[in-house]
Chains A and B, each alone.
Chain A
Amino acid sequence: MTADIQHAPATRSYRDYAQPAWRRLLFTREAAIIALLAIVYVVAAVSVRNFAAPITITYLLLDVATILLIALPMTLIIITGEIDLSVASVVGLSSVTLGTLHQAGMPIEAAGAVAILVGAVAGAVNGFFITVVGLPSLAVTIGTLALFRGLAVGLLGTTAVTDFTEFWTDLAKSKIPGTPIPSVMVLFVVLAIVFAVLLHLTPFGRGVYAIGLASEAARFSGVRVERTKFILFVLSGAVSALAGIYYTLRFGSARGDNATGLELSVIAAVLLGGVSIFGGRGNILGVIAGVLLIGILGSALRLANVTSDVINIITGALLVASVVSTSVLAWIHRKRIGAGIKKGPPAPAQD
C-alpha cells in the first residue's frame, strides 16, 4: 500500500542502440550510395575503354572539385532545413572580384583573400535576410541568385580577365607528385574533415541537426538557431568564393557568367548523397559519395560516347530513383513486419 513509486520497479537498463552496429551502418542511404559508387566504378573500369587509366581520376577530380567544395557547407545548410541557391552566383562574383583586383595590380594572394571576404559578405547578406528578417531561404536565395550574378556580370561586362600569374594557374591544375590526384584535393580533404568534424562531432553540429528536425524545440533548448544559420550561410558564401577562385584559376579566365547553373548540380549531388531536403538527416560521407557518383557516371558515359542529354537523363533518374527507392524499401519493411505480427501468436487473453 505504501510502496513508494521510486522503489517499486526494478531500475531499468538501457541498451545504447536498438540494432546491432552492422545493421545500423549497412542499411543506410549512405551505404547504398557508396556501394553504388563502387559498382559503377568497377563496371566502368571493366567495360569502358580508357576509363581505368589514371588520367581519368585526374580529370574527374578536377571537374568535380568545385561541386565537392560547395557541397560541404550546402550539406549543413540543407540539414538545418534551409537551402542556398545563390552559391553559383557567388562563384561568379568571386571570380570577377579576383579578376578585377588582379588586373588592377593586386597579387593573387591578396585578391583571393578579398574574394573570399566578398563571398563571406554575400553569405552574410543571405544570412541577414533569412535569420534577422526571417524570410524563407528558398525565396531569399532566388533573389540573391539574380543579385550576385547581376553584380558579377555588371562589374566585368564584356571583358574576361585571363592574365593570371602562371604559378597559381599551374597550381590549380597540378597533381600531387607521384599520383594522379589533383593538388586541389588536399584543400578539399582538409575542408571535408573540418566540416565533417563540425557536423558530426561538435555541439554546433548537434544544434544543426536539432534545428533541422525541430527548430522551435532547438531554440527552447538553448540552441542559437539564428546564429547557427547565419554562420552556415557565411561559411557557404566563403567556401563558394574559394571554389570560385579555384574555378577561375583552373580555367584561367575570370568571367561574370562562370559556373552559371551550378547550384542545381550541387543540390542534386547533396540530395543524392542522402541528405533530406526537409532537414535533420544526412552526413558528409554520403554527400561526397553522391558528388563522386554523378562525376564518375558522367565521365564514364562521355568516354563511352554517350551524349550529354543522356547523361542528364541518367543523373535525373538516379536522383528520382534514390529517393523513391528509400521510400519503397521503407514501405516493404513495414509490410513485412506487419505480416510477421499477423502470423505471430494470438494476443494473450485478458487477465
Chain B
Amino acid sequence: MSDTPEQTDAPAPAVLELSRIAKAFGAVVALTNGTLRLERGSIHALVGENGAGKSTLVKIVAGLYQRDAGEFTLDGASVDFTSTAQAKDAGIAVIYQEPTLFPDLSVTENIFMGRQPRGALGVIDRRAMKAEALALFERLGVRIDPDRPTLGLSIADQQILEIAKAISLDAKVLIMDEPTAALSGVEVERLFAVARGLRDEGRAILFISHRFDEVFALCDTVTVMRDGAYISTSPISDTTVPEIVRQMVGRDVTTLFPKTEVPIGDVVLEVRGLTQPGVFSDVSFVARSGEIVALAGLVGAGRSEIARAVFGVDPYASGTVTVDGRPIAKRSPSAAMVAGIALVPEDRRQQGLVLDSSVARNATLAIRRTLARLGLITNAAENGSARIWASRLEVKTAALDTEVGTLSGGNQQKVVLAKWLATDPKVLFVDEPTRGIDVGTKAEVHRLLSELAGQGLAIVMISSELPEVLGMADRVLVVHEGRITADIPRAEATAESVMFAATHAEGEAA
C-alpha cells in the first residue's frame, strides 16, 4: 500500500471523469447529477441508499445506457459509448449487480466469451483457454471445474466467476457493483487481495457496496450519492461511518440492530431429522414464538436449501416439519403457507418478485385467495391491501401499479417483505434479508424483524453477515456442510464461537 504512486493530497490524473450526468427512464429520474472521478492506482468506493443511482451510473459508464446530459471523459477525452463492447474496448471492465452468465455454457467459455484465444482458421484454442481459466482461478484461490456448465453453480460461485471474468479483461478501469453481496469472509478477503494487487499495478477500481467494514478495509476514497445526485467525495481516512451514513440518508441513524428483549413463548416450528442426500442431513431445530433464530454458516453450507425444503419448494427425502404440532405436507409451498410459514427467499429477482408485475399484484400475490370474496378478486381489494403494507414498510414508489422491476433493490426487498407479512405468518424465514440493502433500509428491516418477533412471530433468519447474526439472534444455529453443528444461545454467541463452528465439523452440537 505504501507504494501507491501518488499522494492522496496531490490531485492524481483522472482516468475516468463523470460530471453532472443525468438519466431518466420515462417518468423515473434515476440520476440528476452523477459526478465521479476515478484515479489511477486507487480503489474508490461509491455508496448511497438503494435507488440512489449507483448502478445506473455504472451502466452509463459501461455503455449500456446513454446519458441524457452531462460529461463523460476517459483519459481526458470525451466519450460517447453506444454499446458495452465499446466500453470494453476502451479498457473498462464491469461486474454488474445482476449476474451476466450463460447457464448452458461451460465456466471457461463464460469467462472468455467473445475473446477466446484462437488458432489457425480462427478455431478456438480450447486447451489454451482452459489453461488460462485455471490460472485465473489459481490467482483468486478458488476451485471451480472449468469444464462444467455454469448452470447449478451457487450464487457465490457465480459471483466469483464474474470477478474472474472482469479481472481477465486486464482493464484499466474495473467497476464492481456489489461484488461481495454473495461472498463469505474468506472469499471476500481473496477478492480484496486481488483488488489491491490490481491497484498497485496502477489500475483504477470502483467498488460499490453497502457494507461499510469492506469499504473502510479496502478503499482509498469514497463518494456518496443521494437521490441521483452527488453529495461528497473524501479520502477514506478523513471520514467515519456515521458521517457517511448521515450524508447518505440525509439525517442520523442510530441503532443498526435494535434488538428488543421479548418474552419467548411456545415452540411454533419444529423440524425433525430433515434429510436430502447430498444437500443436508438430519437437520433438527425448533423456533419459538417471539424468538429470532439465526442460521449462520459459510456460503454454500446449505442454509437456503433447508429453508426452501421446510417451506416446501424443494424436496426432502425424510424428516418432518410441524407447525403448532401439526405436520405439514412435503413439497407444497401452499400447504406451508396455510400452516403459517412464510419465506423471503435469497434471490429477490428470480424467486422473490414477479418483476414485470405491479407493486400491488406482487404485494398481494401470496394472499390472493384470502383477498377474494366469493372466489372473485378485484383490483380495488388488491390496491387496498397493498397500500397498507407499502406505507407500513415505506416502499418508495409513486403508484401502486408501478412495475416492481423498476424499483431499486431495497424497495424491491420491502415489497417481498410486504407480500409475506400480509399473509400474517406464524413463522417467518428470511434468507439474507438485508443483502444489497442500504443502511437506512437495513436498520428498518432489523427494526421490523424485532417488532414482528415482539408480536409473537417466530423468525428464522439466514444471514452471512456475522454482525447481523450476532446483533439480532436469540439463538444461533450454525450450519456446516448441510448439518447443524452448533446451537449457541445469544449470551454465548461471539464471532469466534460462530466462526469456529462454521468451519469445523467436529464441534457437534448437543
Which positions in A face B, CB cutoff 8 Å? 1-6, 8-9, 11-18, 197, 201-203, 205-207, 209-210, 213-214, 216-224, 280, 334, 337-338, 341-342, 346-351
Contacts and interface: CB of A to CB of B under 8 A. Distances in A.
A338 B376 contact: no
B409 interface: no
Interface of B: 20, 22, 24, 26-27, 32-33, 35, 68-70, 229-231, 251-254, 311, 313, 332-334, 336-337, 343, 345, 350-357, 360-361, 364-366, 368-369, 371-372, 375-379, 383, 386-387, 390-391, 394-402, 419, 440, 443-444, 447
Contacts, number: 153
B384 to A, nearest CB: 9
Contacts of A214: 350, 353-357
A341 B419 contact: no
A17 B399 contact: yes
A16 B397 CA distance: 11
A3 B246 CA distance: 12
Given A217-B351, A219-B313, A337-B24, 5 more contacts: A16-B400, A202-B376, A220-B311, A221-B419, A342-B69
Contacts of B390: 12, 14
- Secondary structure dominating the interface of B: mixed
A213 B354 contact: yes
22 contacts: A3-B252, A5-B440, A11-B391, A12-B390, A12-B395, A16-B383, A16-B399, A18-B27, A201-B377, A205-B377, A207-B368, A209-B357, A214-B350, A214-B354, A217-B350, A219-B333, A220-B311, A221-B333, A280-B357, A338-B68, A347-B229, A350-B230
A337 B29 CA distance: 11
Contacts of A223: 334, 365
Contacts of B26: 334, 337
A220 B313 contact: yes
B447 A206 contact: no
A18 B337 contact: no
B375 A210 contact: no
A350 B334 contact: no
B161 to A, nearest CB: 21
B305 to A, nearest CB: 14
A349 B253 CA distance: 26
A201 B380 CA distance: 11
A4 B255 CA distance: 9
Contacts of A348: 32-33, 229
Contacts of B376: 197, 201-202
Contacts of B231: 350-351
When A and B form their complex, which 6 residue pairs have the shortest distance between CB atoms, in order from nearest? A18-B399, A203-B368, A15-B399, A214-B354, A222-B334, A221-B365
Contacts of A221: 333, 365-366, 419
Given A203-B369, A206-B365, A350-B35, A342 B351 contact: no
Contacts of A280: 356-357
B394 A203 contact: no
A203 B229 CA distance: 42
B355 A213 contact: yes
Contacts of A347: 20, 22, 32-33, 69-70, 229
